[in-house]
Chain A
Amino acid sequence: MPAPIRLRELIRTIRTARTQAEEREMIQKECAAIRSSFREEDNTYRCRNVAKLLYMHMLGYPAHFGQLECLKLIASQKFTDKRIENGNNDTDLIIEMCRDLAGEVEKLLKTSNSYLRKKAALCAVHVIRKVPELMEMFLPATKNLLSEKNHGVLHTSVVLLTEMCERSPDMLTHFRKLVPQLVRILKNLIMSGYSPEHDVSGISDPFLQVRILRLLRILGKSDDDSSEAMNDILAQVATNTETSKNVGNAILYETVLTIMDIKSESGLRVLAINILGRFLLNNDKNIRYVALTSLLKTVQTDHNAVQRHRSTIVDCLKDLDVSIKRRAMELSFALVNGNNIRGMMKELLYFLDSCDPEFKADCASGVFLAAEKRWVLQNPTINAGSYVRDDSVPNLIQLITNSVEMHAYTVQRLYKALLDDISQQPLVQVASWCIGEYGDLLVSGQCEEEEPIQVTEDEVLDVLEGLLVSNLSAPVTRGYSLTAIMKLSTRFSSVNRIKKVVSIYGSSIDVELQQRAVEYNALFKKYDHMRPALLERMPIMEKTATNGPTEIVQTNGETESSALDSKHPPSITQPTNQANDLLDLLGGNDVPVIQTALPTKPASAGGELLDLLGDLSLSGGPTPAPAPSVPISQTPFLLDGLSSQPLFNDTAAGIPPMTAYNKNGLKIEFTFERSNPNPNISVITIHASNSTEADMTDFVFQAAVPKTFQLQLLSPSSNIVPALNQGSVTQVIRVLNPQKQQLRMRIKLTYTLKGAPVQDLAEVNNFPPQSWQ
């Protein structure tokens, strides 16, 4: 049938009628058309038809059947229904219709018929959701909304006000003045006697109460005055509501949420948390669930108050209900702090072991994160290994490095886990890393916490090689195990086997593996002397930025924020990080080795050195092959890397300084420090001073040590030693003394004094015993 005509058309047509009869005829015809249109249930033109009916009604013609359609129209979502289905090109159509209809709705908001008014209010809500700009249109109509007697209209009005306040800060400010009125309405509801019409188990219109509480929450948030105006009523509701039935608890729940969100006084907040605590003990599971959810929201702001209920929360971990368990788990992680870590960890690890698989991922990650914030991971969670998220692997590794005393125990347990099962990638990665690091502890069988197991080097290598060939291993895991095997070359004696493995993978299809293998091969062949130093034990790493599940673990109510500044990249590629703390890249086996450090002069034959070491910055990339064998000069990059590390942690207490050289006005003093963490390294600072009248320019200090030592010379502060002791040149020497032999040094000094070059050699033997023991 043809599209119904528009209202304007109808009006025009009717106005052309010259007689009453003619008019009646036109109306009849249009009515019939409208009736058929309605019968067809075609929603498209309902709007138009209803508008026409209204007009006809205004003219005095009966249009009762239109009323129903009118109601249907307002009640339907037609302007959005089906339209969305057809795609975005109809969005404009929707907005158009919304605008058209908004006018109608606004009018209806003011009708005397409360039945229509409540529906109009909810319509307005949806119009605003669709087209927020139309909010202004309804503003005048809202003036008297709250003076309603009819609960239906009142309820929908509150919903409308809530919607407006949520969407527009201006509206929010505007409606703040309604707080006293809302408080009054709420008070009446509570104080009024039994009202059969609205009663639910002894409570008067709980639906309205809850909606008012919710609106109050929005109005009181971040506003002191409004919050203060509500304090009393909130306290009243909180204390007077019957809690024997679900209804009362629903109201209490909303009240608690409101109290926590507004700027309530502390007494009220404590009351709210106590209510939640009571909820936690309730037999009704729904209420316990709701309590846990609310506590999770409030644990940030009122941490201490929530801590009081910690034991109840931990008990909820044992609940049979999955929803409750999950909430309890999240809340438990949020509550872990320095004081309760031991107990909490025990509970949480027990939970991890016994919980359903769907929890394990989050729980394991949460455990790692919580442990990382505190201390020792006592019980690596083996079972959950596979469920742990990938980003936990570096975190866990860092944790393990830091818990020095646990190394033997950790590697042993991880090794055992590997024997059982190599399918869980994160676990395998952590395990192979640990074996690579602490393999020597593993085979030596030293472990206090558990029964030491007898493991041979071959067995360990079997396991690691097994990982390399297994189909279950991800490429990343293979990388880990290859590196681990390589590391063991300095810890195990079966080097040949390792060499073979490494050389095989030099032709691996996997590019990453191939690169590693080739580099390690090079390490064996050309730079074998560097291998021990390069593959040395990892130092304790700096704290990394936690990037775990932030919704699980938050700041546990403490002011200590973990040192989350610079993100230290996961130091998985071993040699990269080794370089940072590396004592001596340039140590050689030749004796004596003359070390020179020049302040600005770039490496001559050390071109490669520059490039390679340039990569060995803190950005963990694929490791380039280590430096050439000829030790030349230091490079700026290396220095950078070194200087970022805390070189001088503790000054070695009480090692007296000594004068190494004192001739012709040049005096060189040595001061000592021990470098943590490696006690085999002595750090010597030379102070060169000049007591002659002229400056010593082009001052170069060189030193050599016997074969068993390794030495590294850093840049001097300058190469001019000012005259008359006006200043000194300082330079740092680092000596690696693994065999703890007596330190001896030969030094060579060159400088220019009054235009004449001076050169001198000397031997330094008077090192104090403490400096090398």
Chain B
Amino acid sequence: MMRFLLLFSRQGKLRLQKWFLPMTEREKKKIIRDMTTMVLARKPRTCNFLHWRDLKIVYKRYASLYFCCGLEDQDNELLALEVLHRYVELLDKYFGSVCELDIIFNFEKAYFILDEFLMGGEIQETSKQSIAKSIEASDMLQETMEEYMSKPAF
């Protein structure tokens, strides 16, 4: 399973952090620090895999953002690249030609899309359309809920 997924810019600013295992704040900070240092230090045409502690780190750069995830020993690194790519595709479909700014200003949506795609470090849905539909449905639900909340109890 995936232990964590981080998105950070070329300057090392964290844009998104998803942790699939409970961790203390201190541990999280350490991981973020280590990941950004390690990944940003990599030369351009090197392979996308690293070793860190007992985890395999897979990272991919999309425009100005680095997508970095930590995998356990049994996981398939090449497939992880596909997972990262799938997530970018989902974001792209939702935001329409997604860029870093979209993620900065709509981070809760980015999280939501991620939550529809991955759960507990594993893929929960492999169909792009299904995920798109779920997001639509929950967008609607969100609106309904807000409406509901603002109305007096029946």
Closest to B48 in A: A286
Contacting chain A: which of B3-11, B63-71, B97-105, B142-150?
B142-150
Bitwise interface map of B from 134 to 154 toward A, beta carbon under 8 Å scored 1, else 0 = 100010011011001100011
**Contact A246 B78, CB 8 Å, known A288-B47, A321-B47:** yes
Decide if B49 touches A64 in the complex (CB within 8 Å).
no
Distance in angstroms between the alpha carbons of A398 and B109 in the assembled complex: 65
- A284-321 CB mask vs B (1 if < 8 Å, else 0) is 01111110000000000000000000000000000011
Residue from the list A64, A285, A322 in contact with B148, Cβ < 8 A: A64
How close is B134's CB to chain A, nearest CB, in angstroms?
7
B130 to nearest A CB, angstroms? 6
- Contact pick for B119, options A31, A35, A75, A210, CB 8 Å: A75
A32 on interface, CB distance cutoff 8 Å: yes
Report which of A151, A206, A287 forms a contact with B127, defined as CB distance below 8 A. Answer: A151
Q: Give the CA-CA distance A77 to B120 in the complex, in Å.
A: 8
| Contact across chains for B125 and A152 when beta carbons are under 8 A apart | yes
Are the CB atoms of A323 and B49 closer together than 8 Å? yes
Taken residue by residue from 33 to 69, chain B's Cβ proximity to chain A (1 for < 8 Å, 0 otherwise) reads as 0000000000101111111000000000000000000
Contact A250 B79 (CB under 8 A): yes
B78 pairs with A250, CB closer than 8 A: yes
A286 touching B47, Cβ below 8 Å: yes
CB 8 Å contact bits of A200-225 with B (1 = contact, 0 = none): 10000111101000100000000000
**Contacts A32-B153, A80-B22, A122-B124; is A323 near B50 (CB within 8 Å)?**
yes
Chain A residues contacting B74 (CB-CB under 8 Å) are 214
Q: Give 1 or 0 for each of A60-99: 1 = CB within 8 Å of chain B CB.
A: 0010110110010001010011111100000000000000
Inter-chain contacts of A200 with B (CB < 8 A) = 82, 86
Residue of A nearest to B25 (CB): A85
Name B126's contact: one of A208, A247, A289 (CB within 8 Å).
A208
Whether A286 pairs with B49 at a CB distance below 8 angstroms is: yes
- CB B49 to nearest CB in A, in angstroms, measures 5
B122 in contact with A206 (CB, 8 Å)? no
Asked if B46 and A285 sit within 8 Å, CB to CB, the answer is yes
The interface residues of chain B lying within 8 Å CB-to-CB of A323 are 46-47, 49-51
Is the pair B77, A290 in contact by a Cβ cutoff of 8 Å? yes
Partner of A207, one of B21, B123, B144: B123
The docked-state distance in angstroms from the alpha carbon of A208 to that of B82 is 12
Q: Report A231 CB to chain B, min CB distance, Å.
A: 21
- Provided the pairs A75-B115, A286-B78 are in contact, do residues A39 and B149 lie with their beta carbons within 8 angstroms? yes
- Nearest chain B CB to A43's CB is how many angstroms away? 12
In the complex with contacts A122-B119, A155-B124, A246-B82, A82-B76 CB distance below 8 A: no
Q: A80 CA to B20 CA in the complex, in Å?
A: 10
A451 in contact (CB, < 8 A): no
Q: Report the Cα distance A483→B83, complex, angstroms.
A: 62
Report A346 CB to chain B, min CB distance, Å: 26
The answer on a CB contact under 8 Å between B149 and A85 is no
Q: Which residue of A lies closest to B79 (CB)?
A: A250
A118 interface hit (Cβ, 8 Å): yes
Cβ contacts under 8 Å, B148 to chain A:
64-65
- Chain A residue with the shortest CB-CB distance to B147: A65
What chain B residues lie within 8 Å of A122 (beta carbons)? 119-120, 122, 124
Is A159 a contact partner of B122 (Cβ separation < 8 A)? yes
- Interface bracket on A: 35 or more
| A287 pairs with B129, CB closer than 8 A | no
- The answer, yes or no, to whether B29 is at the interface (CB within 8 Å) is no
Can you list, as one digit per residue, whether each of A97-139 has a CB less than 8 Å from chain B (1) or not (0)? 0000000000000000001001100110110000000000000
Query: Known contacts A285-B46, A289-B47; is A250 also within 8 Å of B81 by CB?
Result: yes
Interfacial chain A residues near B76, Cβ < 8 Å: 210, 214, 250, 253-254
Q: In the complex, what distance in Å separates the CA atom of A607 from the CA atom of B83?
A: 79
Residues in A neighbouring B45, C-beta threshold 8 A: 285, 320-321
User: Judging by beta carbons under 8 Å apart, are A155 and B129 in contact?
Assistant: no
Give the distance to chain A from B108, nearest Cβ to Cβ, in Å: 13
Kindly identify which residue among A68, A80, A125, A197 contacts B122, using a CB–CB cutoff of 8 Å.
A125
Tell whether A197 pairs with B79 under 8 Å between CB atoms, given A65-B149, A75-B115.
Answer: no
Q: Is A28 an interface residue (CB 8 A)?
A: yes
Q: Give Cα A126–Cα B46 distance, bound, in whole angstroms.
A: 35
Given A122-B122, A123-B120, A290-B78, A35:B149 Cβ within 8 A: yes
B46 touches A82 (CB 8 A): no
Q: Which residues of B contact A151 (CB under 8 A)?
A: 125-127
The reply to whether the CB of B93 lies closer than 8 angstroms to some CB of chain A is no
Q: Are A207 and B77 in contact (CB under 8 A)?
A: no
Residue in A closest to B134 when the chains form the complex, CB atoms: A115
B78 partner residues in chain A, CB cutoff 8 A = 246, 249-250, 253, 286-287, 290
Q: Is A720 an interface residue (CB 8 A)?
A: no
- Whether the pair B126, A119 counts as a contact (CB closer than 8 A) is no
Instruction: Report B11-22 CB contacts with A as 1/0, cut-off 8 Å.
Output: 000000000111
Q: Is A427 an interface residue (CB 8 A)?
A: no
The reply on A187 being an interface residue by CB < 8 A is: no
CA distance A31 to B115 in the complex (A): 27
| B140 smallest CB distance to A (angstroms) | 11
CB < 8 Å: which of B22, B123, B145 contacts A68? B145
Residue in A82, A115, A155, A290 whose CB lies within 8 Å of B22: A82
**B115, B123, B145, B148: residue with the most chain A Cβ atoms closer than 10 Å:** B123
Q: Which of A262-302 contact B (CB under 8 A)?
A: 285-290
A81 touches B22 (CB 8 A): yes
A207 touching B82, Cβ below 8 Å: yes
Identify the closest chain B residue to A78 (Cβ): B22
The reply to whether the CB of A156 lies closer than 8 angstroms to some CB of chain B is: yes
Q: Are A119 and B119 in contact (CB under 8 A)?
A: yes
In the bound assembly, the distance between CA atoms of A156 and B116 in angstroms comes to 13
Q: Does A324 contact B (CB under 8 A)?
A: yes
**Inter-chain contacts of A65 with B (CB < 8 A):** 144-145, 148-149
Instruction: Kindly provide the distance from the CB of A157 to the nearest chain B CB, expressed in whole angstroms.
Output: 11
CA gap between A322 and B41 in the complex, in Å: 12
Alpha-carbon distance A250/B85, docked complex (angstroms)? 13
The answer, among B22, B124, B141, B144, for a CB contact under 8 Å with A156, is: B124
| Chain A 235-254 interface 0/1 with B at a Cβ cutoff of 8 Å (1 = within) | 00000000000110110011
A667 on interface, CB distance cutoff 8 Å: no
**Which of chain A's residues have a CB closer than 8 A to the CB of B24?**
84-85
A242 smallest CB distance to B (angstroms): 14
Chain A residues whose CB sits within 8 angstroms of the CB of B81 once the complex forms: 246, 250, 286
**What is the chain A residue whose CB lies nearest that of B47?**
A285
Determine the chain A residues whose CB is within 8 A of the CB of B22 once the complex forms: 77, 80-85
* Chain A, range 2-32, C-beta contacts under 8 Å to B: 28, 31-32
Binding site for A on B (CB under 8 A): 20-25, 43, 45-51, 74, 76-79, 81-83, 86, 115, 119-120, 122-130, 134, 138, 141-142, 144-145, 148-149, 153-154
The 17 sampled A-B contact pairs (Cβ below 8 Å) are A28-B153, A39-B149, A62-B154, A68-B141, A80-B22, A84-B24, A119-B119, A197-B127, A197-B130, A200-B86, A208-B126, A210-B79, A285-B45, A285-B46, A286-B77, A286-B81, A290-B49
- The 9 A-B pairs at the shortest CB distance, nearest first, are namely A250-B78, A285-B47, A152-B125, A84-B22, A250-B79, A321-B46, A289-B47, A80-B22, A197-B127
Apart from A39-B149, A285-B47, 18 more pairs, CB < 8 Å: A35-B149, A75-B115, A77-B21, A77-B120, A125-B122, A152-B125, A155-B124, A159-B122, A198-B126, A205-B126, A207-B79, A207-B83, A250-B79, A253-B76, A286-B49, A286-B78, A320-B46, A324-B47
Spell out A's residues near B (CB within 8 Å).
28, 31-32, 35, 39, 62, 64-65, 67-68, 71, 75, 77, 80-85, 115, 118-119, 122-123, 125-126, 151-152, 155-156, 159, 197-198, 200, 205-208, 210, 214, 246-247, 249-250, 253-254, 285-290, 320-324
